[in-house]
């Protein structure tokens, strides 16, 4: 269980989080959605411990502030938005760094398995810098997966924090990445994802947290949060919501409004 | 599914097997060390000391001149190359060098102060410090610069590498200006001393100097491997490294302090020796990849071998006189570096 | 080819030392003095500043006097090192002292008395005190005669600007307390520069204020094109120089540096030569 209470954050004198309470359960994908500037990424940074401030975050009952970077790395991995690599490391070396960060004793075969999971097994000895944006994004996903390879370690769930994991990807790879997160959650791990794509969110998340102006506007299963009035107000546009038998809710943008 | 893609290869095709590189460098160092002990203006061979009755002067050549000089060369060469690799890892830039944290500028200023103003000291103090005035001042200057920069770049326990870089440039300019003033008041002899100091040399090596510098150099070298994992992770960015459990602030502090210690001590005992810090890690990254766990120890080996070899050339080229080692380093290092850049460009453009 | 020679040297080293029969001379004036005492056969090596008498340049060169390398010095197998004040670096001297080599530092000075003292110190170190006393007395008399003649010249003394070097139009001149100033005074001139000590880069205004009657420049021998050595024309067309009396009358005196400023056994000769150049007889 990940639990946060009374989180505040200020940027440039402006409150970007106004006393947010948040929780997420292992075995689920918890998606954080909301318009640009609503505080999604700031909330994520408070939850990973990158940002400190008023309020408390606990991971499995342990306050984040009391865990060392190393102890934290054994229990959760974070997939950031795009980044650059300073030196010509190979894909294998990058993913191995992730595995070494999360394993008390490295296990053979995990680097390869993590790369196979994201469909990059054939490029294992290629230079990371030479790869396309989409390949680098999946390479980073393999790295964080290799860090928390076992969704449940020593009886404790591991956590994956992913910030817009499908931003640079085509639709096929978007589904592939969501499938990776899905399997991790199904095996007992916890996933917290900042998402822009509401359709993918609706398809995969068990729980959706809708942010609006630094507050949580709604939180709950897709059926409760993905409603016309809530989304239209948060995103300031008109959306056409439908349901499909297999897929659940899906939506189409309709018109800008509430300008 | 088709056949599992080939992944059995031990090393990616563009890299050399690590064992080959390590053994090659160790052999290179062994050959350079033997040459350094065997070759010199006097033509004395090390085994003569065992094989026949030698004079005290001959034993002094081997044990009081060549041996401390060889050990100092090994330590200084290793320290300069490892310092370069650490700085490049810290700044995530293959062109970074210890000069970026102000050690070079500070140490240089210290040396100039000692050379130019040393003559103004009361005779008693001068006699006490004697030959060690310049090394002591250079070391103190290097450390003072690093402490100032660290203070400027640190805020609430966070060290900004970008601020440090900017402050380093500013401090370098300031040190350059003060150096300029001192050069203006320097007399002719002092100017010549300054020039020679700037070109670097191991000629002053003796057991006293070695005893003073070795603990600092060895401590810096010993600290480096503990930074390897952290520097690898920091290649992905400080934030990512933190997520991967790296105590980023500790790694930064450790890297800066060990570089300051090693460079300060190296510059203090050998003057300005360039190129090792950039060329050695660069070549090794091409050969075995950028992972610091291999890069740091191999850089120590390679740096030591190159400096000992260059020093041997320096004292043979115009024997019985001696060339400053910085000249040899640049004469050999610059063309090799250009050649590597050209060769790489050809590969990239094909 | 080289190896047998080196081993030969090593064997020479191994021979028991005869009392100070292998002398290394560091410093141009020191070497000149050794030669003037007739002891040049005992020299085994020299430093870079030793250029006179020319025969000495055939000896091995152990490098610049302030940057001696311990093994380089030991390799020539000296049992006595005669060195001018300022030779170094100190670490090298300490190593050589530890190796048991006798070392004598010859004091530097820019007075006739100091020149005589140099000779006596060197002669004592070489064990030829009597020859040293004779040479010192003779040189003292010669210097006194040359100086007396030079300072007896009637009329105002010429203002002399000594220029050590020229780098791209920036001239380095000799201020107070320099060997050049001492030499100019001994030869009956006046140093045109005052107000600063040592050798300094000169501003155009400082040159104008100095108003020299004569430029005295270093001549490092024919064909020397190294930095700082210029043609007379370079000086005379220098805008600040051109406006001075020396520039207008194109009076440039060239003298070889070691001869002029060495303060060795050729000092009397140098005083006479400079005196002749400063007071040219009317045609």
**Least confident among A225-234, B181-190, C208-217:** B181-190
* Residue C272 and residue C175 share a domain: yes
Please name the fold of domain A2-215: Rossmann fold (3.40.50)
Q: Do residues A114 and A146 make contact, with C-beta atoms less than 8 angstroms apart?
A: yes
Residue B109 host element (H or E): helix B103-117
Tokens of C171: 């001239």
- 8 Å CB contact of C10 and B192: no
Chain C contacts of B130, Cβ < 8 Å? 90
Burial class (CB in 10 A: 0-12, 13-18, 19+), A120: buried
The 10s digit of each residue's pLDDT in A40-55 is 999 999 999 989 999 9
Ordered by where they begin, the domains of chain B are 19-349 (1.10.3470.10)
Mean pLDDT of chain B, nearest integer:
84
Q: Do residues A184 and A204 make contact, with C-beta atoms less than 8 angstroms apart?
A: no
The tokens 């040592």 sit on which residue?
C198
* Residue C274 and residue C209 share a domain: yes
Query: Ranked by mean pLDDT, which of B4-8, B34-38, B335-339 comes out on top?
Result: B34-38
Q: Is residue C153 part of a domain?
A: no
- Which pLDDT belongs to residue B127? 45
Q: How far is B88 from chain A (nearest CA, A)?
A: 9
Torsion of CA B31, B36, B42, B46, to 10 degrees: -70
Tokens of C260: 């002029």
- Which pLDDT belongs to residue C6? 43
Q: Is residue C171 part of a domain?
A: yes
CA angle B49, B313, B66 (to 5 degrees): 30
Q: Any chain B CB within 8 A of the CB of A62? A: no
Rounded to an integer, the average pLDDT of B340-347 is 70
Number of domains in chain C: 2
* Residue C79 and residue C10 share a domain: yes
- 8 Å CB contact of C66 and B319: no
- Which pLDDT belongs to residue B346? 59
Confidence of residue B12 (pLDDT cuts 50, 70, 90): low
Q: Do residues B197 and B111 make contact, with C-beta atoms less than 8 angstroms apart?
A: yes
- Which pLDDT belongs to residue C57? 93
Spans of all domains in chain A: 2-215
The tokens 């040479």 sit on which residue?
C135
Q: In this structure, what CATH number is given to the domain that contains residue C9?
A: 3.40.50.1980
Interface test with C, best of B48, B191, B317, B319 (most C CBs within 10 A): B319
Which of 117-136 (A) contact B at CB < 8 A?
121-122, 124-127
- Which pLDDT belongs to residue A40? 94
- Which pLDDT belongs to residue B119? 67
Q: Is residue C132 part of a domain?
A: no
User: Cα–Cα distances in Å, from C272 out to A148, C115, C220?
Assistant: 93, 16, 19
Q: Which residue of C has its CA nearest to B185?
A: C200
* Residue C174 and residue C242 share a domain: yes
Q: Which chains touch A (3 or more CB pairs under 8 A)?
A: B
Burial C99-131 (b: 16+ CB within 10 A, else e): bebbbbbbeebbebeebbebbbbbbebbebeeb
Interface test with A, best of B4, B9, B243, B246 (most A CBs within 10 A): B243
**pLDDT, greater one: B155 or C36:** C36
Confidence of residue A94 (pLDDT cuts 50, 70, 90): very high
- Which pLDDT belongs to residue C11? 41
Strand partners, C191: C160
Rounded to an integer, the average pLDDT of B230-254 is 93
Give the integer Cα–Cα distance in Å for B133 and B139. 10
The 10s digit of each residue's pLDDT in B90-134 is 888 887 877 777 778 888 888 888 888 876 665 555 444 556 777
Q: Is residue C126 part of a domain?
A: no
Give the integer Cα–Cα distance in Å for B273 and B90. 21
User: Residue B252: which of B81, B86, B82, B140 has the closest Cα?
Assistant: B86
Interface predicted TM-score (ipTM) = 0.89
The 10s digit of each residue's pLDDT in B191-210 is 888 888 888 888 888 888 89
The 10s digit of each residue's pLDDT in A189-214 is 999 999 999 999 999 999 999 999 99
Contacts of C57 (CB under 8 A, 6+ apart): C46, C50, C51
* Residue C188 and residue C101 share a domain: no
Task: Give me the residues of chain C with pLDDT under 70, please.
Answer: 1-19, 220-231, 282-283
Nearest to A101 among B94, B244, B291 (CB): B244
Does the pLDDT value for residue A247 go beyond 80?
no
Confidence of residue B271 (pLDDT cuts 50, 70, 90): confident
Confidence of residue A71 (pLDDT cuts 50, 70, 90): very high
The 10s digit of each residue's pLDDT in B29-64 is 999 999 999 988 887 888 887 777 777 778 888 888
Give the structural domain span for C172. 159-278
- Which pLDDT belongs to residue B345? 66
DSSP state letters, B210-256? HHHHHHHHHHHHHHGGGGHHHHHHHTT-HHHHHHTT--HHHHHHHHH
Which of 2-61 (A) contact B at CB < 8 A?
48, 50
């Amino acid at each position: 269980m990940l639990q946060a209470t009374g989180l505040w954050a200020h940027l440039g004198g402006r409150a970007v989080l106004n006393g947010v309470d948040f929780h997420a359960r292992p075995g689920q994908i918890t998606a954080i959605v909301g318009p640009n500037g609503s505080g999604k990424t700031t909330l994520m940074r408070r939850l990973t411990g990158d940002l400190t401030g008023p309020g408390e975050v606990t991971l499995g009952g342990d306050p984040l502030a009391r865990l060392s970077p190393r102890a934290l790395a054994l229990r959760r991995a974070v997939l950031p938005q795009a980044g650059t690599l300073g030196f010509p490391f190979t894909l294998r070396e990058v993913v191995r760094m992730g595995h070494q960060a999360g394993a008390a004793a490295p296990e053979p075969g995990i680097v390869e398995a993590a790369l196979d999971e994201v469909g990059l097994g054939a490029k294992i000895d290629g230079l990371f810098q030479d790869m396309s944006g989409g390949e680098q994004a999946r390479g980073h996903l393999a790295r964080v997966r290799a860090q928390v390879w076992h969704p449940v370690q020593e009886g404790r769930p591991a956590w994956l924090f992913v910030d817009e994991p499908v931003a640079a990807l085509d639709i096929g790879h978007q589904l592939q990445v969501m499938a990776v997160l899905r399997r991790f959650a199904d095996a007992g791990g916890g996933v917290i994802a900042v998402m822009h794509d509401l359709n993918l969110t609706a398809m995969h998340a068990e729980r959706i947290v809708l942010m609006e102006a630094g507050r949580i506007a709604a939180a709950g299963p897709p059926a409760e949060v993905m409603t016309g009035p809530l989304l239209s107000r948060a995103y300031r546009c008109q959306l056409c919501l439908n349901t499909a038998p297999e897929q659940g809710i899906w939506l189409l943008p309709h018109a800008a409004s509430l300008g | 599914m088709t056949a599992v893609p080939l992944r059995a290869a031990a090393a990616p095709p563009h890299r050399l097997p690590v064992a080959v590189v390590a053994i090659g460098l160790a052999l290179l160092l062994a050959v350079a060390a033997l040459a350094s002990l065997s070759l010199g203006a006097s033509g004395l061979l090390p085994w003569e000391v065992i094989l026949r009755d030698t004079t005290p002067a001959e034993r002094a050549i081997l044990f009081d001149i060549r041996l401390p000089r060889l050990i100092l060369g090994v330590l200084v060469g290793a320290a300069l190359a490892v310092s370069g690799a650490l700085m490049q890892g810290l700044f995530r830039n293959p062109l970074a060098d210890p000069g970026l944290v102000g050690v070079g500028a500070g140490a240089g200023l210290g040396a100039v102060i000692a050379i130019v103003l040393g003559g103004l000291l009361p005779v008693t103090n001068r006699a006490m410090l004697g030959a060690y005035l310049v090394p002591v001042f250079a070391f103190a200057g290097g450390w003072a610069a690093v402490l100032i920069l660290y203070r400027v770049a640190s805020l609430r326990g966070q060290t900004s590498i970008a601020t440090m870089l900017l402050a380093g440039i500013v401090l370098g300019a300031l040190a350059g200006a003060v150096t300029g003033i001192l050069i203006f008041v320097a007399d002719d002899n002092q100017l010549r001393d300054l020039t020679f100091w700037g070109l670097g040399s191991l000629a002053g090596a003796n057991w006293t100097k070695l005893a003073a510098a070795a603990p600092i150099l060895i401590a810096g070298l010993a600290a480096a491997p503990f930074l390897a994992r952290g520097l690898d992770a920091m290649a992905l960015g400080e934030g990512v490294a933190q997520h991967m459990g790296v105590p980023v602030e500790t790694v930064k502090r450790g890297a800066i302090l060990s570089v300051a210690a090693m460079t300060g001590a190296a510059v203090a005992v050998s003057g300005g020796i360039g190129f090792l810090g950039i060329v050695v890690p660069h070549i090794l990254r091409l050969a075995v990849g950028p992972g610091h766990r291999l890069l740091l120890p191999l850089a120590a080996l390679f740096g030591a071998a190159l400096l000992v070899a260059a020093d041997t050339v320096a004292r043979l080229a115009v024997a019985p006189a001696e060339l400053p080692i910085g000249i040899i380093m640049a004469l050999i290092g610059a063309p090799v570096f250009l050649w590597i850049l050209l060769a790489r460009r050809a590969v990239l453009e094909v | 080819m080289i190896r047998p020679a080196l081993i030969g040297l090593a064997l020479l080293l191994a021979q028991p030392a005869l009392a100070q029969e292998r002398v290394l001379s560091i410093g141009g004036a020191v070497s000149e003095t050794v030669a003037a005492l007739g002891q040049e056969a005992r020299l085994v090596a020299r430093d870079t500043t030793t250029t006179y008498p020319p025969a000495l340049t055939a000896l091995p060169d152990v490098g610049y006097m302030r940057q001696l390398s311990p093994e380089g010095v030991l390799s020539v197998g000296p049992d006595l090192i005669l060195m001018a004040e300022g030779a170094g670096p100190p670490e090298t001297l300490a190593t050589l002292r530890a190796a048991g080599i006798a070392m004598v530092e010859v004091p530097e000075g820019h007075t006739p008395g100091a020149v005589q003292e140099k000779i006596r110190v060197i002669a004592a170190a070489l064990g030829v005190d009597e020859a040293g006393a004779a040479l010192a007395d003779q040189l003292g008399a010669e210097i006194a005669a040359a100086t007396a003649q030079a300072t007896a010249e009637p009329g105002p003394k010429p203002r002399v600007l000594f220029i050590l070097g020229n780098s791209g139009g920036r001239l380095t001149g000799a201020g107070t307390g320099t060997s050049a100033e001492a030499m100019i005074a001994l030869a009956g001139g006046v140093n045109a520069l005052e107000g600063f000590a040592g050798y300094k880069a000169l501003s155009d205004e400082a040159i104008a204020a100095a108003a020299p009657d004569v430029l005295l420049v270093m001549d490092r021998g024919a064909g020397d094109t190294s930095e700082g050595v210029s043609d007379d024309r370079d000086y005379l067309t220098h805008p600040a120089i051109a406006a001075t009396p020396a520039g207008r009358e194109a009076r440039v005196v060239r003298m070889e540096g070691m001869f002029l400023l060495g303060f060795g056994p050729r000092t009397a000769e140098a005083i006479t030569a400079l005196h002749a150049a400063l007071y040219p007889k009317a045609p």
